[in-house]
Amino acid sequence: SESRFTEPTLDDLRAALVRVDATDYGAHSPRFISRFTDMTRQAVTYRAGRVLLAGDAAHVHAPLGGQGLNLGVQDSVNLGWKLARVVLGTSPDALLDTYHAERHPVAARVMHNTMAQRALGATDDRTSALRSVMSDLLAFDEPRTHMAAMISGLDIHYATGRTADDDHPMIGRRVPDLDLVTSDGPSRIYEHLHRAEPLLLDLDPGSDLDTSRWRERVRHIDATCTGTWELPVLGEVPAPSALLIRPDGHVAWAGSRTDTGLHVALRTWFDA
Ligand SMILES: Cc1cc2nc3c(=O)[nH]c(=O)nc-3n(C[C@H](O)[C@H](O)[C@H](O)COP(=O)(O)OP(=O)(O)OC[C@H]3O[C@@H](n4cnc5c(N)ncnc54)[C@H](O)[C@@H]3O)c2cc1C
C-alpha cells in the first residue's frame, strides 16, 4: 500500500523508484525499510522532573545537512555529566535545568535551518532563482563560514552561568585542542578531558588561583601553552591565563590574569 500510515514494503519502494526513475534497479533483500518526512517538531520542555528528553525524542526535522545525530549526541554529552553530578550530589539539582536552557535553542536553530533548506529544494522557477542567489552568496567566505559553523555545530555557545564580569569570548564555547606542557611533559587539552571531570587549567606560571575549597571536585592542572587560541567563526581570541572547563569541553570561565568570576563559576557549576 502507498499509505503514509502503514509500514512500508519492498513493493512500495519499487513502485516509488519506478515512478521517479522508470526502473526499480532490481532492488531486493532490504535490511530494513522505514519512512521519513520533513516533519519538524520539538518538545516544549526537555525536562519534567525526573523525565529528560534527548535526541530525536526531543526534536525531529528533515535530515538535510546531516545534523540530527550530531545534535542528539551533543544533547546527551551536555546532559550526561550534569545528571551524574546531581545523582552523586556534587552539583545542585538546578544544574539539570541548564540542560533545557542550553540545548533547546540549539535544536530550534537546526530546525530553522533545515526548514529553510527544505524550502530551497522546491523546483518552481522562483525557488530555483532563490537557490541561485543563495549559491552566489555562499561563494563569499563570510556567509560560507557562517553556514558551515552552524551546520557542523561548531559555533555553539552557551550563555548560562555567565555574569557581567565574564567577557572573555571563550566562555560558553568549546575549548580548542591546543598543545600543553605540564610537569608530566607534553600533552593536548582534550587528553585531560577524557575523564569527563571539571578541569581548571592554570596557564599563568605566576598566578596563585585559590581553588582549595573545590580541590575534591575540580581537577587543577598547571601548564604552559604557546599555541594560538583560534575559535571557529571568531578566529583568534586573546590567550586566557586560566580556564575552567566543563566535562563536556565547554568553557565555564576564562581568566585574563585575574580570578574575577572564577568563584561564581565554580559555585554555579560544581557546588553541591
Ligand atoms: C534518511 C535519514 C538520514 C539521516 N542522515 C543523517 C546524517 O547524515 N547525519 C546525522 O547526523 N543525522 C542523520 N539523520 C538523523 C539521525 O538518524 C537521527 O537524528 C538519530 O538516529 C537519532 O538518534 P536517537 O538515538 O535520538 O533516536 P533513534 O535512532 O530513533 O533511536 C531510538 C531507539 O529507541 C528504540 N525504541 C523506540 N521505542 C522504544 C520502546 N518503547 N522500548 C525500547 N526501545 C524503543 C527504537 O527502536 C530506536 O532503536 C538522518 C535521518 C534520516 C531519517
- The model carries a pTM of 0.90
- State whether 192 and 259 are in the same domain: yes
Ligand 1 centre to CA of 56 (Å) is: 6
- State whether 148 and 187 are in the same domain: no
d(CA 233, CA 245): 20
In which domain, by residue range, is 236 found? 179-270
- State whether 183 and 148 are in the same domain: no
- State whether 47 and 97 are in the same domain: yes
Q: Residue 1: its pLDDT value, please?
A: 46
Ligand 1 centre to CA of 65 (Å) is: 15
Phi/psi of residue 92, nearest 5 degrees:
-70, 155
Question: For position 113, which CATH number holds?
Answer: 3.50.50.60
Whose C-alpha lies nearest to ligand 1, atom 19?
68
Count of domains observed in the chain: 2
Q: pLDDT truncated to tens, each residue of the chain (272 aa)? A: 456 788 899 999 999 999 999 999 999 999 999 988 899 999 999 999 999 999 999 999 999 989 999 999 999 999 999 999 999 998 889 999 999 999 999 999 999 999 999 999 999 999 999 999 999 999 999 999 999 999 999 999 998 766 666 678 999 999 999 999 999 999 999 999 999 999 999 999 888 788 788 888 899 999 999 999 999 888 999 999 999 999 999 999 998 888 888 888 998 898 86
- State whether 114 and 197 are in the same domain: no
- State whether 142 and 190 are in the same domain: no
User: What is the grid cell recorded at 141?
Assistant: 567566505
- Is the residue at 15 inside a domain? no
What are the pocket residues of ligand 1 if the criterion is a CB atom closer than 6 Å to any ligand atom?
Answer: 36, 55-56, 63, 66-70, 72
User: What is the grid cell recorded at 193?
Assistant: 578531558
User: What is the grid cell recorded at 98?
Assistant: 541548564
- Is the residue at 84 inside a domain? yes
Best of 38, 56, 64, 113 for a ligand 1 pocket test (most atoms within 8 Å of beta carbon): 56
- State whether 134 and 193 are in the same domain: no
- Is the residue at 172 inside a domain? no
- Is the residue at 18 inside a domain? no
- Is the residue at 114 inside a domain? yes
- State whether 55 and 146 are in the same domain: yes
For the purposes of burial, counting CB atoms within 10 Å of the CB of 259, is it exposed (0-12), middle (13-18) or buried (19 or more)? middle
Whose C-alpha lies nearest to ligand 1, atom 27?
56
- Is the residue at 59 inside a domain? yes
- Is the residue at 120 inside a domain? yes
Q: Which residue pairs, CB below 8 angstroms and at least 24 apart, start in 171-174?
A: 171/251, 171/252, 171/253, 171/254, 172/250, 172/251, 173/231, 173/234, 173/250, 173/251, 174/249, 174/250, 174/251
- Comparing CA positions, the residue from 168, 254, 241, 245 lying closest to residue 206 is 241
- State whether 183 and 255 are in the same domain: yes
d(CA 253, CA 236): 18
- Is the residue at 194 inside a domain? yes
Determine the atom of ligand 1 nearest the C-alpha atom of 34: 53
Best of 33, 46, 69 for a ligand 1 pocket test (most atoms within 8 Å of beta carbon): 69
Whose C-alpha lies nearest to ligand 1, atom 25?
55
Q: Residue 261: its pLDDT value, please?
A: 86
Question: E strand or H helix at 42, and its extent?
Answer: strand 41-42
- State whether 49 and 143 are in the same domain: yes
Question: For position 242, which CATH number holds?
Answer: 3.40.30.120
User: What is the grid cell recorded at 179?
Assistant: 598543545
Ligand 1 centre to CA of 30 (Å) is: 18
- State whether 145 and 47 are in the same domain: yes
Determine the atom of ligand 1 nearest the C-alpha atom of 56: 26
218 DSSP assignment? S
Ligand 1 centre to CA of 228 (Å) is: 38
**Residue type at 72 in one-letter notation:** G
Ligand 1 centre to CA of 231 (Å) is: 30
- State whether 260 and 190 are in the same domain: yes
Ligand 1 centre to CA of 113 (Å) is: 20
Last residue of a domain, one of 98, 117, 152: 152
